[in-house]
Amino acid sequence: MFESLNIDTEKETRIINAATKVFAENGYQRASTNAIVKEAGISKGILFHYFKSKKELYLSLYEYLSDMFAEKIYERLDLEERDIFEIIRKVSLIKFEMFSTYPDLINFLNRAFHEEAPEVKDGIEKIKASLTDSSFIKLFSNIDATKFREGIDVEKAIQIIYWTFEGFANQQQVRVRTMSVADIDKEEILAEINSYTELLKKSFYK
């Protein structure tokens, strides 16, 4: 299941949505298969008919949602873009919009990123690696190095930029946790992204 995106039955969709939500809210360990089947309105048996274990469910879901997420990013991203800040701004924007539409998806992915449960940690890492290899890093490997000031270690500068926006995203997540989706002030956040962008440009660029 999931392998070839043939999620076309109503029941499959319900499982995916339910599992995404329950895992997003509870993390791997605390999420109970009982809660998932209840949320999905299905029987215990059918869950284990589709996925042979909770672990497999989680990992399949992770792979499916990562793929889907990457796809969405790519289909809206200008792959010719070589300015790192433009790339990050665009990705942030897309993430935002996806968060409004599919908050569970984004929450699931964010949580999975730091998941510590030993049953799935290695599996997540493997999927992450294969994804990153095949596609993600590409975004950053194509960066236009000539824009950076002389004497700057571009690779490390990119790392700093990445960590900055990762840190910012985490900070927002914590803030947002208690709000409803509607209450998030998108304009304010974008403004903050801009000021970090300005600061980093001023410091790293020619």
Nearest to 36 by CA among 99, 104, 100: 104
Amino acid letter, residue 167: G
Interface positions, 142-171, toward DNA (CB under 7 A): none
Extract the tokens encoding 62.
Answer: 């992770």
| Binding footprint of DNA, residue count (CB under 7 A) | 20
Task: State the minimum distance, in angstroms, from the CB of residue 106 to a second copy.
Answer: 16
Q: Does 144 bind a second copy (CB under 8 A)?
A: no
Query: Which position among 32, 101, 134, 203 is part of the footprint of a second copy (CB under 8 A)?
Result: 203
Count other C-beta atoms under 10 Å from residue 142's C-beta.
Answer: 13
For the bound state, the minimum distance from the C-beta of residue 167 to a second copy, rounded and expressed in Å, comes to: 3
Q: Per the structure block, which two tokens stand in for 105?
A: 């998806």
| Residue 34 interacts with, from DNA, a second copy, none (CB under 5-8 Å by kind) | DNA
Q: Give the residue with the Cβ less far from DNA, 41 or 167.
A: 41
Q: Which of residues 49-68 bind DNA (CB under 7 A)?
A: 49-50, 52-55
The yes or no reply on residue 114 touching a second copy (CB under 8 A) is yes
Closest contact distance (angstroms) between CB of 149 and a second copy is 8
161-180: contacts with a second copy (CB under 8 A): 162-164, 166-168
Measuring CA to CA, which residue among 61, 72, 170 is closest to residue 108? 61
Task: Report how far residue 32's alpha carbon sits from residue 19's, in angstroms, rounded to the nearest whole number.
Answer: 9
Least gap, CB of 65 to DNA (angstroms): 19
Q: What is the rounded CA–CA span in Å between residue 106 and residue 165?
A: 16
Nearest 5°: phi and psi at 76? -110, 5
Taking CB under 7 A as the rule, does residue 21 contact DNA?
Answer: no
**H-helix segments, 77-153:** 84-101, 103-113, 118-131, 137-141
First to last CA, the chain: 50
Q: What is the DSSP letter of 77?
A: S
Q: Which residue is listed with tokens 């993430």?
A: 95
46 is a contact residue toward a second copy (CB under 8 A): no
Name the site residues for a second copy (rule: CB under 8 A). Answer: 27, 29-30, 111, 114, 116-117, 149, 151-153, 156-157, 159-160, 162-164, 166-168, 195-196, 199-200, 202-204
Q: Which residues bind DNA (CB under 7 A)?
A: 9, 11, 30-35, 42-46, 48-50, 52-55
